[in-house]
Amino acid sequence: MTSARATRAFNAGSPAGVRSRRRSSRSRSRSRRCRRVGGPRASSRVPGAGPSPPVDPPARRPAGPRGPRAGSPEDECAEAPSRPAPVDRPTEIEYPARARAEGVEGRLVVQIVVGADGRAADVRVVDGVEPSLDAAAVAAIRTWRFRPAMRCGKPVPGGVYILARRFELGD
């Protein structure tokens, strides 16, 4: 099969407007010219000038805000992040005296976003009971420490822990 026929066969199954992977002879010659521009060719060196100085390979840039490069070890890990879990609860959620006096009862649902360091990065009340009880819960949760979400053995930020607690007054 000739190269033109191979290109047509390759493009036959592709959508309209999609170019083939094969470079045209014009673009191949352009790339050859660009390679030649970099410095003198071996045949045009000055006699007696000695060998050319070694060229350092380009420095590898660290992964920037766009994340790791394709093909990097971080990219190869397909493991889903684990869920964070509370490890240390130095302050328990206390029933505020005002809410207790008013007889407030209900179910509190709080969404906690855990950072890579295990601290509560963001605490949001999803379903509140009463403002003073909600505020007491948020203040207590901010003192807690969590085991962060893990992905490929490394802690990752952004793990979400949902806390649901029922507040009821005893008889």
CB 83 within 8 Å of CB 158: no
Q: Using the predicted structure, report yes or no on whether residue 36 has a pLDDT greater than 50.
A: no
Alpha-carbon gap, residue 120 to 91, rounded angstroms:
14
pLDDT digits (tens, 9 = 90+) for 87-133: 999 999 999 999 999 999 999 999 999 999 999 999 999 999 999 99
What is the arithmetic mean of pLDDT over 54-58?
A: 61
Q: Using the predicted structure, report yes or no on whether residue 151 has a pLDDT greater than 90.
A: yes
CB 106 within 8 Å of CB 134: no
| pTM exceeds cut of 0.85 | no
Long-range contacts of 64-68 (CB under 8 A, 24+ apart): none
State the pLDDT confidence band at 73, using cuts at 50, 70 and 90. low
Token pair belonging to 29: 């010659």
What is the arithmetic mean of pLDDT over 8-36?
A: 49
pLDDT digits (tens, 9 = 90+) for 39-52: 455 444 555 555 66
Which run of H or E residues covers position 75?
A: helix 73-76
* Cα angle: 126, vertex 128, 131; to 5 degrees: 130
* Cα angle: 85, vertex 87, 92; to 5 degrees: 105
Pick the CATH number of 85-167 from 3.40.50.300, 3.20.20.370, 3.30.2420.10, 1.10.10.60: 3.30.2420.10
Q: Using the predicted structure, report yes or no on whether residue 146 has a pLDDT greater than 80.
A: yes
Q: Exposure of 147 by Cβ count < 10 A (0-12 exposed, 13-18 middle, 19+ buried)?
A: middle
* Domain boundaries, given as residue ranges, for the chain: 85-167
Measured from the Cβ of residue 7, the count of other Cβ atoms closer than 10 Å reads: 16
